[in-house]
Amino acid sequence: MYKASSLILVLAFAADGSHAAERYHLGRPARPAEIAHVSISVAPDGTGLPDGRGNATTGRAVYEAKCAACHGAKGEGNAAAAFPRLVGGVGSLTSKLPVGTIGSYWPYATTVWDYINRSMPYQDAGSLRPDEVYGVTAYLLYLNGIIKENAELNKRTLPKVVMPNRDGFVDDPRPDVK
Residue range 117-135: mean pLDDT, rounded: 95
pLDDT of residue 159: 98
pLDDT of residue 3: 54
| DSSP single-letter state for residue 83 | B
CATH architecture of 51-166: Orthogonal Bundle (1.10)
pLDDT at 4 over 60: no
pLDDT at 12 over 60: no
Range in 27-36, 43-52, 59-68, 145-154 the model is least confident about: 27-36
In whole numbers, what is the pLDDT of the chain averaged over residues? 89
pLDDT at 13 over 70: no
- Residue 178, SS3? coil
Greatest mean pLDDT range, 7-16, 18-27, 97-106: 97-106
> What angle is formed at CA 132 by the lines to CA 55 and CA 53, rounded to 5 degrees?
50
Residue (of 125, 65, 79, 74) closest to 102 by Cα position? 74
Number of C-beta neighbours around residue 13 at 10 A? 10
**55 contacts 138 by C-beta, under 8 angstroms:** yes
pLDDT at 11 over 80: no
Residue range 80-108: mean pLDDT, rounded: 95
- The domain segmentation of the chain, as residue ranges, is 51-166
pTM of the predicted structure, to 2 decimals: 0.79
pLDDT at 105 over 60: yes
Residue (of 105, 117, 107, 106) closest to 49 by Cα position? 117
pLDDT of residue 34: 76
Strand partners, 53: 154
> What angle is formed at CA 143 by the lines to CA 137 and CA 145, rounded to 5 degrees?
105
Q: Is the dihedral of CA 145, 55, 83, 171 positive or negative?
A: negative
In the structure, what pLDDT confidence band is assigned to residue 77 with cuts at 50, 70 and 90?
Answer: very high
pLDDT of residue 18: 54
Strand partners, 154: 53
Q: Residue-wise over 56-89: b if at least 16 C-beta within 10 A, else e?
A: bebbbebbeebbeebbeeebbbeeeeebebbbbb
